[in-house]
Amino acid sequence: GALVYQYPRRTICKSGTSMRMECQAVGFQATSVAWYRQSPQKTFELIALSTVNSAIKYEQNFTQEKFPISHPNLSFSSMTVLNAYLEDRGLYLCGASFQDTQYFGPGTRLLVL
Partner 1 sequence: GQQVQQSPTSLVLQEGENAELQCNFSTSLNSMQWFYQRPGGSLISVFYNPSGTKQSGRLTSTTVIKERRSSLHISSSQITDSGTYLCASTGGLSGKLTFGEGTQVTVIS
Residues 19-78 that bind partner 1 (CB under 8 A): 31-34, 36, 38, 43-46, 49, 51
Question: Nearer Cβ to partner 1, position 28 or 107?
Answer: 107
Q: Which of 19, 93, 110, 112 binds partner 1 (CB under 8 A)?
A: 93
Our CA angle for 58, 107, 18, nearest 5°, is 60
Nearest 10 degrees: CA dihedral of 74, 77, 108, 5?
30
Could you tell me the sign of the dihedral formed by the alpha carbons of 33, 34, 35, 41, in that order?
negative
Binding of residue 109 to partner 1 (CB under 8 A): yes
Q: Is the peptide bond before 8 cis (omega within 30 degrees of 0)?
A: yes
Is 103 among the residues that bind partner 1 (CB under 8 A)? yes
Binding site for partner 1 (CB under 8 A): 31-34, 36, 38, 43-46, 49, 51, 91, 93, 95, 97, 100-104, 106-107, 109
